[in-house]
A and B are shown apart, each in its own frame.
Chain A
């Protein structure tokens, strides 16, 4: 993966004709390796944001879900479905939902992110949002289906789907923030390019 990016960054077009179709993107910067501490810190921050009492407004996205999608797209081998499952159980207890409801949603989310990560990374950040939106929606609809199946549904539950739209709109910002540590220059030496 990293090797491929390197090649793209250097403008090497020998990798095949299809890699040259880049829709006018600026060449990508070579990213530094991610630190595992940063991954888990951001996921913990997402959990903390989800535990914050926002009230019942549907305009606040599920930050933890966004973080899980992000790391599963960018580092599919670091954060697994097991972690997503455990985070889901924590959210279930916090929200007083059925045990396993969020766990199922986050597991599906992770699988979707892992399955699509090569395709998503190919696109510019704004188009990536269009792939993230259905991922978040599917996760939300999965827990909705569980609720309707068990028979606890009432009222205008579909209003909550706005959460996913807000989450997808925040995707560029999330990408910018979470990739920032990897975008740092390797050395502070000004004379050295890159």
Chain B
């Protein structure tokens, strides 16, 4: 007859067995999450559950910031006011010209029978927090699928493109910034209209233009804007300026490093462009992986 251990020494399942079980479960979840999007409903459920707590914990920081803002001196306010008035005056002439140019442009386009550039619906959002993740740079904003934000929407600030919405929850969404390694965006150089794709750079906080020929006509200081070829980012949004161009004799491509234009600071205001990705005309030749790079990154 077998005897089990007396209950005094019975400690339940051994620690090693529990370790094996839970590690296996964790690895299983990681693999499932990395390969397919099957766990998104669980993620959304947990996110909705965590949301009130997250919002409550933002309160101390916001209160501190408000207190800090309250004691800003009059001099800084007057300085800001002066600066804003000046920039308003500077922009006034541009705006007046802009209205005229827009009319003229519309007229010309009608004449040419081109499709009008649709202006996307915009939504002003606030950055709630930056997740503490030392691998990827993300931002969490305070609007979600309940407000019409969709995965893939471009996110801009007053200076340029900041990134792209990559994951949407009912109340919040995650924005992956442009300088992430997996992000890509179709761009063109303003000076000569040279089109290429900007990827997140290997150095943190930069972009690189890949697949540009070693003798391509780019110089440091060139402005880079979205080309709008993907049907997702509207054309003409500033992306950055070329910081330096390295032309190596051995390499057939130039190494072009771009400093992003859009700034990213915590608790800032951003704008989500709610573009509905227009279905692109099918490419003439399908080779299995015809998906566009800018949109592929939204499925991660």
Asked if chains A and B come from one complex, the reply is: yes
Q: A residues engaging B (CB < 8 A)?
A: 48, 50-56, 58, 60, 77, 80-82, 84-85, 88-90, 93-101, 103-104, 107-108, 110-111, 114-115, 144, 146-147, 150, 152-157, 159-160
Q: Is the beta-carbon distance between A96 and B26 smaller than 8 angstroms?
A: no
Q: Is the beta-carbon distance between A95 and B133 smaller than 8 angstroms?
A: yes
Would you give 25 A-B contacts (Cβ < 8 Å), ordered by A? A51-B54, A52-B57, A52-B60, A53-B128, A53-B266, A55-B266, A85-B22, A89-B29, A93-B43, A93-B50, A95-B133, A96-B136, A97-B133, A98-B34, A99-B29, A99-B33, A100-B25, A100-B30, A103-B26, A111-B19, A150-B34, A152-B181, A154-B135, A155-B135, A159-B134
Q: Is the beta-carbon distance between B138 and A103 smaller than 8 angstroms?
A: no
Chain A residues with Cβ below 8 Å from B200 are 154
B213 at the A interface (CB under 8 A):
no
Of the listed residues A108, A110, A152, the one surrounded by the most CB atoms of chain B closer than 10 A to its CB is: A152
Q: Which residue of A lies closest to B138 (CB)?
A: A96
Provide the bound-state CA to CA distance between A194 and B204, in Å.
Answer: 58
Which of B25, B33, B54, B130 has a CB less than 8 Å from the CB of A85?
B25
Q: Mark B27-65, 1 if CB is under 8 A from A, else 0.
A: 111101110000100110011001001100110110000
Chain B residues with Cβ below 8 Å from A146 are 30
Provide the bound-state CA to CA distance between A48 and B55, in Å.
Answer: 11
> Number of B residues contacting the other chain (C-beta, 8 Å)?
50
Q: Is the beta-carbon distance between B19 and A52 smaller than 8 angstroms?
A: no
Q: Is the beta-carbon distance between A107 and B46 smaller than 8 angstroms?
A: no
Known: A52-B60, A104-B23. 6 other contacts (CB 8 A): A51-B57, A53-B58, A95-B131, A95-B132, A100-B27, A103-B26
Which 10 A-B residue pairs are closest in the complex by CB-CB distance? A100-B29, A160-B134, A53-B129, A104-B26, A155-B204, A99-B33, A111-B19, A100-B26, A154-B181, A95-B131
Provide the bound-state CA to CA distance between A144 and B204, in Å.
Answer: 17
Q: Which residue of A lies closest to B46 (CB)?
A: A93
Q: How far is the CB of A88 from chain B (nearest CB, A)?
A: 7
Q: Which residue of A lies closest to B175 (CB)?
A: A96
Chain A residues with Cβ below 8 Å from B204 are 154-156
Chain B residues with Cβ below 8 Å from A77 are 11
Chain A residues with Cβ below 8 Å from B26 are 85, 88, 100-101, 103-104, 107
Chain B residues with Cβ below 8 Å from A55 are 130, 266
Q: Mark B70-112, 1 if CB is under 8 A from A, else 0.
A: 0000000000000000000000000000000000000000000
Which of A51, A53, A85 has a CB less than 8 Å from the CB of B50?
A51
Provide the bound-state CA to CA distance between A84 and B39, in Å.
Answer: 20
Q: How far is the CB of A66 from chain B (nearest CB, A)?
A: 14
Chain A residues with Cβ below 8 Å from B39 are 99
Q: Which residue of A lies closest to B265 (CB)?
A: A55
Chain B residues with Cβ below 8 Å from A58 are 134
Q: Binding site of A, secondary structure by majority: helix, strand, loop or mixed? A: helix
B8 at the A interface (CB under 8 A):
no
Chain B residues with Cβ below 8 Å from A48 are 53, 57
Q: How far is the CB of B141 from chain A (nearest CB, A)?
A: 12
Chain B residues with Cβ below 8 Å from A108 are 19, 23
Provide the bound-state CA to CA distance between A127 and B53, in Å.
Answer: 36
> Given A53-B57, A85-B22, A152-B182: A103 and B29 within 8 A (CB)?
yes
Of the listed residues B54, B135, B202, the one surrounded by the most CB atoms of chain A closer than 10 A to its CB is: B135
Which of A53, A104, A115, A154 has a CB less than 8 Å from the CB of B180?
A154
Provide the bound-state CA to CA distance between A55 and B180, in Å.
Answer: 17
Q: How far is the CB of B189 from chain A (nearest CB, A)?
A: 25
Which of A54, A60, A104 has a CB less than 8 Å from the CB of B30?
A104
> Given A51-B53, A52-B57, A114-B15: A98 and B46 within 8 A (CB)?
no
Q: Which residue of A lies closest to B47 (CB)?
A: A93
B69 at the A interface (CB under 8 A):
no
> Given A53-B57, A111-B15: A157 and B29 within 8 A (CB)?
no
Chain B residues with Cβ below 8 Å from A89 are 29, 46
Q: How far is the CB of A86 from chain B (nearest CB, A)?
A: 10
Provide the bound-state CA to CA distance between A50 and B47, in Å.
Answer: 15
Which of B47, B129, B132, B202 has a CB less than 8 Å from the CB of A60?
B132
Q: Which residue of A lies closest to B139 (CB)?
A: A96
Chain B residues with Cβ below 8 Å from A97 are 131, 133
Chain A residues with Cβ below 8 Å from B115 are none
Q: Which residue of A lies closest to B32 (CB)?
A: A99
Chain B residues with Cβ below 8 Å from A147 are 135
